[in-house]
Structure 1
Amino acid sequence: MAEEKHQLTKKNEDFIFHFKKLLAQNSQLSAEQIEAATDEVTTKLLTAQGTGTTAAQLFGTPTQAVAQYLDPKKSNKKLHDYKFWQLALDTSMAILMLFAGVFGLTLFFSKQATGQGAGIVSLLLIAALGGSIYTAVVLKLTPNPKATQAEPKSRRWLYLGLALVAWIVGFIVLGLLPPVINPTLPPLAYLIVAVAAYGVFRWNRQQAGLQGGGFLAISQLSQQARLESSQAKK
């Protein structure tokens, strides 16, 4: 395995270095277990970098990768093991955090903040719609080892097309809601919404055991599922 490690990219070598260092700092694992875990992660990185998948997309941070080996109960959960609402809520809150934060900061530094930006109702519904649609599409397009047969490629493209249409139509319709039921809030209110969304975001990840290291946990889980599916076919 030592020779294979030299084939890793510089970033992946750095990831392995910190991963092994963090494992060694924990007395929960023996030297043999640390080597086995390091070899396993190295093999996965070697396979993933050939498809352009980064260590962050696959494992998150080295700390989160270590947590997977120290808490097997959580790390064993795959994409299709999570409930739909858990993944959709994670994605929706990520979208809401981003949009509310951007709107809040934009309005805060704008000289004419009144009437600018998205209304709060459309913002909440857009986040919920976007999170649900994105989650549904990723689940359909990602190989499921529990499925009796894989979805035909033609049907996958159909799902993607329908999701895109639903997102565009929903975005347009929600943007047309009248101000009387969709008021624009003061800048501070949007920032408070962003902070509240972050609180729900963190709570949901802890309750569900989502180990996503990036902005969208479902994207990382999908990358892992695709990698495992490609390895199983070899």
Structure 2
Amino acid sequence: MSDNKPRNADKQEEQVENKEQDTGVTASKTGLTKRNADFMFKLRKEIANSGLNNEKQEEAIHDTEKQLLDGQKSGQTARQIFGTPSERVEEIVRGPKKEAISQNDNYWFRSLDNALIFAALFSAMYAVMSMFQPQTIAKTPGPAGFLAIILTSAVGGLGMGYVYRVLYPDKKAPRPSLWKQIGMTVLAVLVWISCYTLFAALPSSINPLLPPAGYIAIAVVTFGARWYLRRRYGITGGFI
């Protein structure tokens, strides 16, 4: 038993030495740094078990080495470029991840983005008011009704989506004059306020008030939906 331990230790030491020698040879031949050469050493072992044919393996290895050499010029490491060897092999086998097409300039996605944040903010506001200032809602319950919140948010989303498109047109199109920007914004806000007043007059039979938990639930759901929408479709910026 005692004889086996030294033998195992010697074997492990020999394997480490062999790996260091292989890595050193790879680094000297390819011009890679020792760390990047170690990455390639591990990559070769993993890609050999990936199921790819020899031609594709060599092509992938050559491409990886080329990218590493280019990255070295600006101080990038293999991990910064590819992650781990396993992640690089997965990318080679399955292909690069397809990036979602940005809908940043899509009017409907932009309007939905605005409507969701408006619904989240209104719901959060009425949740706080219903808990700490219930008498205020009792005096003017209309705006806090479920249907009023949905409709007000929808109109606000559509209106602000349109204003955003006017203020931030396609890169090739010229931006409108300052006065036109101000006029469009003021007009959109006035229309929104008018709709808000109109929706507040809806009867309680179709525009019921909600308990605080109901408003909180709407705020959480709409905020979460907006977060997913922006992440999934690459939407950035906006009024809020």
Answer yes or no: is the 8 Å Cα contact 2:111–2:158 preserved in 1: yes
Q: Name which one, 1 or 2, has greater alpha-carbon Rg.
A: 2
Distance change in 2, residues 1:109/1:153 (3 Å):
closer
Give distance in 2, aligned partners of 1:30 and 1:115.
67
Deviation at 1:72, TM superposition (A): 11
Deviation at 1:167, TM superposition (A): 1.3
How many residue pairs end up in the alignment? Answer: 149
**2:238: which partner in 1?**
218
**2:220: which partner in 1?**
195
**1:136 counterpart letter in structure 2:** Y
> Is 1:207 equivalent to 2:232 in the alignment?
yes
Give distance in 1, aligned partners of 2:172 and 2:218.
38
Deviation string 1:111-163 (CA, Å, 9 cap, x unpaired) is 6588465111101111111122122112211253122x443444333322321
> Is 1:120 equivalent to 2:140 in the alignment?
no
Answer yes or no: is the 8 Å Cα contact 1:95–1:127 preserved in 2: yes
Give distance in 2, aligned partners of 1:97 and 1:31.
48
Distance change in 2, residues 1:204/1:81 (3 Å):
closer
Deviation at 1:93, TM superposition (A): 1.1
Deviation at 1:33, TM superposition (A): 7.7
**2:74: which partner in 1?**
32
Deviation at 1:31, TM superposition (A): 6.8
Deviation at 1:195, TM superposition (A): 1.3
Answer yes or no: is the 8 Å Cα contact 2:104–2:234 preserved in 1: no
Give distance in 1, aligned partners of 2:134 and 2:192.
32
> Is 1:89 equivalent to 2:131 in the alignment?
no
The runs of at least 4 aligned residues of structure 1 exceeding 2 Å deviation read 28-34, 71-74, 108-117, 149-158
TM-score, with length taken from structure 1: 0.53
**2:172 counterpart letter in structure 1:** K
Q: 1:179 aligns with which of 204, 209, 212?
A: 204
**Bigger RCO (CA 8 Å, 6+ sep):** 1
Gaps of 5+ in 1: 1-27, 35-70, 221-234
**1:83 counterpart letter in structure 2:** N
Give distance in 1, aligned partners of 2:186 and 2:223.
30
**2:196 counterpart letter in structure 1:** F
> Is 1:135 equivalent to 2:158 in the alignment?
no
Distance change in 2, residues 1:219/1:119 (3 Å):
closer
Q: 1:144 aligns with which of 147, 170, 173?
A: 170
**Percent sequence identity over matched residues?**
24
Give distance in 2, aligned partners of 1:129 and 1:101.
18
**2:132: which partner in 1?**
109
Give distance in 2, aligned partners of 1:83 and 1:143.
11
**1:182 counterpart letter in structure 2:** N
Distance change in 2, residues 1:81/1:123 (3 Å):
closer
1:12-23, aligned counterparts within 5 Å?
Answer: none
Give distance in 2, aligned partners of 1:33 and 1:87.
39
Distance change in 2, residues 1:83/1:107 (3 Å):
same
**1:107 counterpart letter in structure 2:** S
